[in-house]
Chains A and B, each alone.
Chain A
């Protein structure tokens, strides 16, 4: 039987900034990749291949990896660029290591909304004849999902959405129980996150039925992770984060064919990743899910099984294991999203998450040991990737 190589995380880095006029995108990428290499204690000369995730329409030029790939270290070495979420790039890089193709792979993903509006770019992904005329974007689909969620759980946002009765309850009803607390918890976590960007690149009007504070902090985001084959020496392998499970799943392209109040592909991807790792949801000690808005985040938590159906807001508010980084409130831009969440998770597992570090695992003191990361990609979560990481 073929034995596949185990994969370890050697280094991670994040750069979440807001329209830094002093640095061009390649400089942001170079800075972040250099930090990841330094974190790993290696140099580019030690890297066999580079696997990246970026989007032409967000980077503002066709085949943008021509200029950004070298900044990520892809000079005279193997490079594959995905037009996908960064977590998918991490998954492919892990496959390159598991298969024995390479010994060390650098993964990087980025998005710079300061130079291009991702919402405008996302509109170009919808069918030009039947869907684009409606003005759909990834954000407006998130709002449609929010409406579908409200309908599914019997709540009606109505004209009073976002208002509160005399008892402080949201008028939208029971499904929104915990909504305000979840928004506050998300914001509070993002404020404690030392890597978070607090100045959004731009302010986008919240589409109905969302509120402004439920959206993301639009951010120039770069993430980089150095992966390697797990060293065979126990002493060298000790303390390294390992990737123990990966899952991918895909839904129909057409929104009308999809469940709009949840993400079945996220569930399938997470189940596969957990099964591969030999874990169950009960063993997950920290989870980061990547959504464009808090509505996406809570629906992901419910879809994956980390929250009860209709209980996503309550779970996000009350369970510190879920998106301790603050999620998209700490800074987000596709397609870096999933790799940003993974980097935050790796920092949690190594006890280096700073102000958002979890100090309790399985009911007792200690840093978490088992993590689940889930992230979606175009079109509006049509595909999802899930990764289980352990230390």
Chain B
């Protein structure tokens, strides 16, 4: 983390829907960027660098689609691509850029056009080994199903746990006007949805989503004292090995323990001075595209011991934790892959700023957003607060 405090001063998001046949990639970006700049009270001339986030090219069907849609002539520009964690990785890059004194203010933009792909899962099949794994029809869904099977076997989870998490997320999404077509679902409706890959039902998985999200980040010295700011108190990232088999039996933790998320959280909490996240963080926006991933994230984020993950989920579903998870509906409601981790940070920032509208929760001084990509391989954790570090 930089020594000078850095905050989010502008947030812009498009509505998120399955596809946008009437809008080009550039038009989607412009909607988000115009809103973020207006929120920041800045013009494009105030932007010292632009950092773009686009994950697999194949989802959009055009290589480097960011070149035609995000890059700004005359401004330093580069593209980050860390799968589902792309959106949070561009915030990491912006923190380094500002912290290095290369710019006072940086615009980060993430874009997803996966509605252009004929089937997203056929493309996600190509993230796996072409010789040993691809022909098993491994996809992000079947990959998650393997983890779900482990959770059933090791911790006694049932379908009701994951349906409960999904129901909570879909119900939250009703208050999010950006989640186009959101509707509340009961656990029974979730369980009645088609089985995608046992034990995961359709409504326990994320939808195909398009959209763009933009944030404006500035260093403290150029932020007006009256401007509503979400200050970044901590940011951590960690990567894991690719092979799932290598993550089964190792000292650091098994496949379902989300070791990189735990390490990212430890780093971010340390920077932010968080020692008891269950008591010190009011809102978590989790990049959990499957409800089983959310269940795996709780212990990794220090909210419970691994062995207590099932009873903790029971407490979450009973509303007994005092923590708000995914007021926006989270990644199960909308999951534009390239942008989804940035949306989590945007939503956490709006909660910290008190600007989340109908989805605003009471008493939010501190919020945490996570990023997750590449078969739970890349993880990030970002701690945001209404209070400037050092105050």
Contact = CB atoms under 8 A, between A and B. Distances in A.
Given A63-B56, A76-B252, A100-B2, A248 B78 contact: yes
Contacts of B302: none
Interface in B84-111: 89, 92-93, 95-102
Nearest to B380: A78
B239 A251 contact: no
Interface in A349-373: none
Nearest to A79: B239
B64 interface: yes
B263 A56 contact: no
Most buried by B among A2, A65, A99: A99
Most buried by A among B1, B75, B259, B378: B378
Interface stretch (B65-73, B181-189, B323-331, B357-365): B65-73
B198 interface: no
A61 B252 CA distance: 28
Nearest to A253: B68
Interface of A: 2, 4, 49-50, 55-57, 60-63, 65-67, 69-70, 74-84, 88, 91-92, 94-101, 121-122, 124-125, 127-128, 246-254, 377-379, 382-383
Contacts of A122: 63
A63 B61 CA distance: 14
A233 B97 CA distance: 26
A383 B81 contact: no
B260 A80 contact: no
Contacts of A83: 54, 57, 64, 79-81
B73 A76 contact: no
B292 to A, nearest CB: 20
Nearest to A132: B62
Contacts of B54: 83
A94 B64 CA distance: 24
Given A56-B58, A63-B81, A76-B252, A249 B74 contact: yes
Contacts of A246: 102
B245 interface: no
B3 A56 contact: no
B132 to A, nearest CB: 11
A88 B96 CA distance: 13
Contacts of B79: 82-84
Contacts of A124: 57, 62-63
Contacts of A128: 61-62
A249 B76 contact: yes
Contacts of A121: 63
B4 interface: yes
B4 A250 contact: no
A75 B63 contact: no
Nearest to A60: B130
A61 B127 contact: yes
B378 A79 contact: yes
Given A82-B81, A383-B78, 9 more contacts: A55-B63, A62-B58, A63-B56, A66-B83, A75-B241, A92-B97, A99-B99, A100-B3, A125-B62
Contacts of A383: 71, 77-78
B62 A81 contact: no
